[in-house]
Structure 1
């Protein structure tokens, strides 16, 4: 069994930005395989598979984020002990992957881990979250002009009171960088392909969280450009809304007992470790 593999799903991405991500992973590992699943309409990014450890797959159609990664996950599920989901807009130094690998080897109860995530200028991205309610997502996406109320909501939803300086067991970790134990994926399943883009990370993390710890580990960090595309592109906004509707149809709108349990348990944990 291979110790580690990784995948990037690309779609008309900046080649220079994608190169940063590729270099970051290759420099961090020695024998690990990196898969690039290209959903773009052309194979213009194919030349980036310049190393024998990079396996480029031109998909010739845009199947979405989760479905794209599932193509790779189905290939490696019984071949890799760990798999890393990488956004094409992240980069990191060569110590990150070995540090997280060692952490997972020491924490067998963990099915997923996410490092601290920073903007390129070094500012923290608060990407540890409670499971969302419809109210929270509507406020965050459409009611930003209620600034004080939104800040109060985000203070709890994004776990700001934790200080982001301690290990936390969190039910929703960002999909920009998912260090996954493949044993957990074999147990809970892969990305739900009903989510074309957005909320697929929420859905997968909560399914893993039900059986394993899903941990935030602040002792190492990555950088994420984080374009917030749905705030600029109407098509991406539609995808965001569509995925949110499908998420709540799956898990419950007003009544979601698991959401209530996981969120209360997370907030209680923060009180215990503060």
Structure 2
């Protein structure tokens, strides 16, 4: 009789494209400090030949035949490594954190049977990044991208800014820059929808996960996310963002989206509110 496969606690995945070692050094060091992470999978979508010279037994490099985007890259890592771990960490190459973040999230998952978690996130300057969001309407995304001054009032609710971020709570969507998800759940979801090259693939994954579990914000240990907002500076990335938005709303509904309405209503009704004015 063949013994059951002993699974690692966590395997992490990072998708790279024309990144240098200097650009991801802090991310790698942060992940390597976490003993719960058995392997770090670097998916080379192009221009990262230097990754093959890294001399660390915990780092594995996967080479994509072509750059098919963020979700496709992570899916390649999932296809090979999901059966080997209990939880899978989707991580951006512009994230860094102090030791203990992954251990804390893993403990929260095991104590409360969470399947999908994300930590507090700050920008590099220390300011808070509102990474927890309701499911977006077309107006949310249009105003945030093209008329940000008008979006501020809507963002207060859309980004659940009145929540007590010192407590754990469920939310319809979290940032894709750092998501710890059970391998069992990711297998059910079949990873990311690869039709999204970049942008909104994380929102799509979150809302599909809502059919099986809560998506949880877990307080206590935070990360830093550089968050370059590339589509605000690069026309080709802007077009990619628009294309993903059209794909998303064609898939889920533009005006009439019962699942969005239900998920957002449930979140707002159960949200722990901050007492700070």
TM-score by length of 2: 0.93
Unaligned residue ranges in structure 1 (runs of 5+): none
**C-alpha distance in structure 2 between counterparts of 1:197 and 1:160, whole Å:** 25
Report what 1:68 is aligned to: 73
Deviation, structure 1 residue 13: 1.9
Q: CA-to-partner distance for each residue in 1:130-159, whole Å, 9 max, x for gaps?
A: 000111111111122xx2x31110000001
**C-alpha distance in structure 2 between counterparts of 1:129 and 1:232, whole Å:** 23
Deviation, structure 1 residue 273: 8.2
Q: Could you tell me whether the CA contact under 8 Å between 2:40 and 2:59 is conserved in 1? A: yes
**C-alpha distance in structure 2 between counterparts of 1:13 and 1:163, whole Å:** 36
Q: Could you tell me whether the CA contact under 8 Å between 2:15 and 2:70 is conserved in 1? A: yes
Report what 1:259 is aligned to: 260
Deviation, structure 1 residue 60: 4.4
Q: Could you tell me whether the CA contact under 8 Å between 2:9 and 2:86 is conserved in 1? A: yes
Matched, 1:35 2:41: yes
Q: CA-to-partner distance for each residue in 1:152-175, whole Å, 9 max, x for gaps?
A: 100000010114222110111100
Report what 1:88 is aligned to: 93
Deviation, structure 1 residue 176: 0.3
Q: Which residue of the other structure, out of 11, 21, 25, is the alignment partner of 2:17?
A: 11
Residue 227 of structure 1 aligns to a residue whose secondary structure is coil
Count of residues paired in the alignment: 269
Distance 1:102 1:42, change over 3 A: closer
Deviation, structure 1 residue 272: 7.3
Residue 263 of structure 1 aligns to a residue whose secondary structure is helix
Give the RMSD, CA atoms, in angstroms: 1.6
**C-alpha distance in structure 1 between counterparts of 2:192 and 2:117, whole Å:** 16
**Which portions of structure 1, spanning 4 or more consecutive aligned residues, are displaced by more than 4 angstroms?**
271-274
Q: Could you tell me whether the CA contact under 8 Å between 1:166 and 1:218 is conserved in 2? A: yes
Task: Kindly indicate which of the two structures has a greater share of residues assigned to strand.
Answer: 1
Q: CA-to-partner distance for each residue in 1:95-143, whole Å, 9 max, x for gaps?
A: 11111111111121x2210000011221110010000011111111112
Report what 1:55 is aligned to: 60
TM-score by length of 1: 0.94
Report what 1:154 is aligned to: 155
Q: Could you tell me whether the CA contact under 8 Å between 1:168 and 1:217 is conserved in 2? A: yes
